[in-house]
């Protein structure tokens, strides 16, 4: 009996150590998880739902392909920031030129502001449909709420709020379950690639993959890892947070596609924005499913808007050497907060302008993002493999393979976007 008890002790000790280690990992979740949740903004929700409505379950397998691509890219962005102690604009200026940095940040800012406008519109539209209050008033209220949180909240408080919003997005998984999709068909299309010889299917696939890889997420994650003030020895630990965030992001996207396919596939719908999608879903999805969809849109917008404005503020501040960070007081980081508030206000103004439609705002933001993504991936691939800059933390084979594949895919997306733009 004594021997058995002694033999069990090391195993129990190891189990306790594993539990303690995993608890510490969960406590450290932050930038990667928030980045993953912010990737599923209202514009992304529309894209994923429309993919399901137009192509059924046939593109589910692409999310298995895009997950390692996202993990590789975001992991490189986070590790570069931790090892060098610099954000992406600072790195580009140091290793290339300030002109390139200014060009990149200008494209990022324009795309982000257009997307902010579309996301704020989505929140206001859903609130208007569910409460009947006027959209402009709701738009002002939402813009003010987000701005107040960032300007007057402390970094740790903001982080907790954003993580909480990220967790609430799990309603989309529940929504997919309530849609009662054919399980065997879902499993088949998840693990067996479908490649229809259809131009519309290919364009939808490129659009869906492009939605999962957004430039502002790379800027945000790198800046947040820098804000977390992690030491270089923690660079090897960055993967858990990033992997968790990217898997969560694509799991939500997976659920959205399933819901769109289960509820809307096979019917003819013009689903270009949240308003059209909501009015189409409401009569066919059922009250519970529509309520979950509406909650998800509002929460995703509240999560994505500060990330979009924040990534713009970080990028501009780092380009011009201003003090930045949400832990700083307004008086200590005036430029950073001016850009943040300005991005929110201009986004709201664009949304309220009768000359610019939400569909146009999303389209041109995608064109701008499509021009920027391949450049960013190329820069990160080069820097991640630069031993002089990264030391022992150079990119792994996994990161090189899937980042290179992402570069190929995003170049294809850019080509399609520019072709559609020119014609």
Return phi, psi of residue 87, to 5°: -85, 175
Span 360-400, pLDDT tens digits: 777 678 778 878 888 899 999 998 998 888 888 888 899 99
Q: Give the confidence band of 14 by pLDDT, cuts at 50, 70, 90.
A: low
Instruction: Return the percent helix, strand and coil in the chain, to nearest 5.
Output: 85, 0, 15
Higher pLDDT, 412 or 53: 53
| Residue among 411, 407, 316 nearest 370 (CA) | 411
Q: Which of 180-184, 204-208, 247-251, 308-312 is predicted with the least confidence, judged by mean pLDDT?
A: 204-208
DSSP for 33-90, please give it. Answer: HHHHHHTS-HHHHHHHHHHHHHHTTTTHHHHHHHHHHHHHHHHHHHHHHHHH---HHH
Q: Residue 94 has what pLDDT?
A: 87
On the question of pLDDT at 2 being above 50, the answer is no
CA distances (Å), origin 7, targets 3, 4, 12, 105: 6, 5, 9, 60
| Domains observed in the chain | 30-422 (1.20.1740.10)
Asked whether 348 and 140 are in contact (CB, 8 A), the reply is yes
Span 118-167, pLDDT tens digits: 888 888 888 888 887 776 777 788 888 888 888 887 777 887 888 888 88
d(CA 361, CA 142): 19
Q: Residue 293 has what pLDDT?
A: 85
Asked whether 337 and 313 are in contact (CB, 8 A), the reply is yes
- pLDDT, average across residues 110-125: 88
Tokens of 199: 């131009």
Q: Give the confidence band of 10 by pLDDT, cuts at 50, 70, 90.
A: low
Q: How far is CA 56 from the centre of its chain?
A: 23
- pLDDT, average across residues 107-119: 90
Span 183-203, pLDDT tens digits: 999 999 999 988 776 767 777
Q: How far is CA 200 from the centre of its chain?
A: 24
Q: Which of 200-214, 227-241, 285-299 has maximum average pLDDT?
A: 285-299
| Mean pLDDT, the chain, whole residue set | 81
For the chain, how long is the longest CA-to-CA vector? 82
Q: Residue 255 has what pLDDT?
A: 93
| Backbone CA torsion sign across 259, 205, 208, 405 | positive
DSSP for 359-384, please give it. Answer: HHHHHHHHHHHHHHHHHHHHHHHHHH
CA angle 390, 403, 39 (to 5 degrees): 105
């Amino acid at each position: 009996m004594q021997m058995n008890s002694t033999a069990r002790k090391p195993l129990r000790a190891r189990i306790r150590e594993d539990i303690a280690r995993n608890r510490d990992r969960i406590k450290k979740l932050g930038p990667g998880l928030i980045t993953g949740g912010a990737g599923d903004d209202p514009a992304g929700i529309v894209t994923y739902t429309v993919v399901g409505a137009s192509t059924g379950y046939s593109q589910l397998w692409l999310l298995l392909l895009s997950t390692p691509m996202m993990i590789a890219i975001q992991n490189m962005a986070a590790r570069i920031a931790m090892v060098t102690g610099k954000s992406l604009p600072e790195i580009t200026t140091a290793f290339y030129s300030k002109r390139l940095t200014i060009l990149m940040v200008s494209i990022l800012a324009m795309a982000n502001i257009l997307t902010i406008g579309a996301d704020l519109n989505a929140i206001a539209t859903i609130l208007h449909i569910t409460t009947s209050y006027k959209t402009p008033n709701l738009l002002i209220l939402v813009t003010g709420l987000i701005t107040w949180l960032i300007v007057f909240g402390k970094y740790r408080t903001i982080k907790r709020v954003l993580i909480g919003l990220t967790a609430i997005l799990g309603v989309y998984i529940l929504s997919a379950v309530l849609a009662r999709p054919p399980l065997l068909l879902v499993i088949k299309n998840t693990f067996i690639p479908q490649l229809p010889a259809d131009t519309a299917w290919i364009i939808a696939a490129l659009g869906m993959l492009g939605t999962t890889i957004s430039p502002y997420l790379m800027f945000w994650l790198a800046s947040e890892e820098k804000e977390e003030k992690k030491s270089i020895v923690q660079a090897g630990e960055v993967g858990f947070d990033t992997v968790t965030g990217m898997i969560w992001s694509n799991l939500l996207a997976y659920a959205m596609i399933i819901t769109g396919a289960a509820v809307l596939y096979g019917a003819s719908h013009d689903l270009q924005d949240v308003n059209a999608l909501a009015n189409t879903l409401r009569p066919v999805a059922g009250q519970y499913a529509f309520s979950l969809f509406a909650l998800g849109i509002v929460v995703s917008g509240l999560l994505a808007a500060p990330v979009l404005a924040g990534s713009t503020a970080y990028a501009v501040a780092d380009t011009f050497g201003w003090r930045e960070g949400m832990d700083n007081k307004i008086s200590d980081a005036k430029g950073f907060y001016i850009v943040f508030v300005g991005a929110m206000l201009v986004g709201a103004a664009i949304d309220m302008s009768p000359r610019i439609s939400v569909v146009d705002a999303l389209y041109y933001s995608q064109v701008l993002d499509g021009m920027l993504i391949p450049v960013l991936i190329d820069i990160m691939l080069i820097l991640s493999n630069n031993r002089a800059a990264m030391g022992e933390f150079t990119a792994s084979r996994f990161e090189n393979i899937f980042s290179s594949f992402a570069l190929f895919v995003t170049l294809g997306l850019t080509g399609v976007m520019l072709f559609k733009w020119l014609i």
